Structure 1
Amino acid sequence: MTDSTTSPQLAAMLADLEELVTCESFSSDLEAVARSAKVVAAMGARHLGSGPEFLVIDGVTHLRWSFGTPKVLLLGHHDTVWPMGSLATHPWSVVDGVARGPGVFDMKAGLVQTFHALAGLGSLDGVTLLVTGDEEVGSITSSRLIQDTARGLAAAFVMEASADGGALKTVRKGTSLYTVNVHGKAAHAGLEPEKGANAGIELAHQILAIAGLGAGATTVTPTVLSGGSTLNTVPAFASVGVDVRVAEVAEQERVDAAMHALRPVVPGTRLDVVGGPNRPPLEASMSASLFGLAQELAAGLGLPALTSASVGGASDGNFTAGVGCPTLDGLGAVGGGAHADHEHVLVSELPSRTALLRALLEAVR
């Protein structure tokens, strides 16, 4: 759905984007992720002249292209948060210069930009492209693959969608995930409640203690709660999920130690704390030089001045930074509404972001 003013390049990018968006790839549906991987692999083969490795880990399909001696990593994912059937309620469309559809912004447009940027290079020597299939659910099967692929490289460019206004993401908080399980003792709530050990009351104590661990930029948020069995029974079990976001490794370590040092308050109860750090923070020091380079290249291309953003959400760029690889994130689509009904991409920005990525690759290889 394009108009007469659409350039051949942009028309080709939109055709590729439609192909990816209309192949649904909900993270939790491994068959759908496998189908999506085949579509992404075929598209990459058309643009790059060769197919990828298919890396299936615990049923999740990841793709990797490698050209020559690895020097720079391009990183993205093809899974989305959108359940199967979302196309029926959020169909692919391009209207008034805005593309919509499930996963269009996060981050299928980024994959299209990647393929078109690479296709325009004279040589692919030194480039590795890794497209994972489980980023939206914590990169459980791909985290080690990402770390091993990035270790020792000169740069990692993460094709996640941009921040507001097209800003590149130069700082991302690290994440830790926990479940705190409280084990108590059941008793009849009317006849002999004193003979029980109330896991719900203990959980209330722990929630307040956990919430108090946040400080400054560090957020510690109790989230999913559960507990009890019937209205007339003292709860024998209760639990809470905990989301932690930190800007510095030292804070991640502090909170982890505090979480595992939690102790019960209610007599007869015991705690079981499960989990820990999931992604290290992407600190400003890991992106500063690449952002400066991007600013220079953007100016040389006649693009608007680049801005940067610090965001609370994590990405696979946290893993690359965590192994010491300089990392620049948010190089993907310009738009908004990730994971939301208004998810969209500004079509006019696709060629310029592609040109910026190509210039970065030419500069660092």
Structure 2
Amino acid sequence: MKVRSAVVAGVLGAVLATSLTACGSSSASDADSAGGSGSGGDIQLGAVYSLTGPTSVLGLQDSEGAKAAVKYLNDNGGLLGKQINLTVLDDKSQPSLAVQLVGQLTSRNHVSAIVGPDEQTAVTAAVPAAARAQVPIMTNGGSWPGPLKADQQKWGWAATTPTTVMIDQFIDYFKATGVKKVAILGNGTSFSDALPAYLATKTDLPFTVVVNSKFTSGAVDVSPQVLQAVNAKPDFVMSWMSGPDAVNVVKTFKRLNVDVPLGMNGGTTTPSFVDAAGKDALTGVIAGTYSAQLYDSLPADTANKTQVKAYLDGMAAAGLDAAGGASNAIMGWESVMSLADAIKTAGSADSEKINTALAGQHFVGAMSVWTRTADDHAGAEGGYLLAKFDGNEWKGLSNPES
């Protein structure tokens, strides 16, 4: 879902931090601030997201969620009697630049904590930089902790439910529906390869993977790989990728009149993806999504239903689009809210105290319920649901009408 190449960044010039309210629009400049006056009495938080470049489709949404969360908190009294000032920096889809920006936020802006980045390569680069600065960083990568070693993870945390939770949802669905043979379609990225790698760790799968068909990301014609998957006679095909490649798969299924059910990962239930792929081609597709997109059908006793509503209301109050609850903005929101909870628990904006509070945190968020420990820096308990496109909208599979 989240892949970008590392490009060596030039030396950063001076960066202006313009003081805006949290509902102010995000620009593609190197820095903008949200939620406070920028005075020394504010609690200083930083954010590193891709506001420009190939993965800005993720970072722009994340940053909007973070800003909405800061506005929500400030409108409700702030933290510890203080307002929050959020400085958002653009890594321009360059992991090496993300490292520099972490350094800038800690040494120049003197932030207490950082949210972001999103894409996994940038996360892997930024977390060790935060560890060196001894400042907690609440990331949005879906494959935590990736290749990071224990000492690199000490100050790094995740506010995105791991992709494996979504895969488990599909496994449960296959058990319930009697799927016995599954074909995988991948695009050779680390995210895409995570699906077969995770399934390979399972010893009790109710199905067999009959083929793992790959094409090169960005390929114009993926019909040979789609046909390879379909010719293996699967009961279900899982396409594990996002963006243009995922759109290409959906359109190819339609063009080839494939009648095998198709499943997809998160990030494919947004209005922009529906527009790109086409409603007709998407009809019947199953994909992972956030509970916020299915808020109206959530059971009343859902543990975090109140927090989901707060997120949706907070985005609306900030004048930002939650994309029907499907926006990745929920990850930026969750990051800020996780840090805010730790700051309240610590009774301090001191970085070390925040990090200590995170190591024993039980927090009910809009995306998931989190039980973080010194050994588990994510601790998500759920966070993804499966939805099916009915020709007009996405509906939860638990919905009797689905």
TM-score of the alignment, normalized to the shorter chain, above 0.5 = no
TM-score w.r.t. the length of structure 1 is 0.31
Q: Which has the larger radius of gyration?
A: 1
Q: Taking CA–CA contacts closer than 8 Å with sequence separation of 6 or more, which of the two structures ends up with the larger relative contact order?
A: 1
TM-score w.r.t. the length of structure 2 is 0.29
Structure in which a larger fraction of residues adopt strand: 1
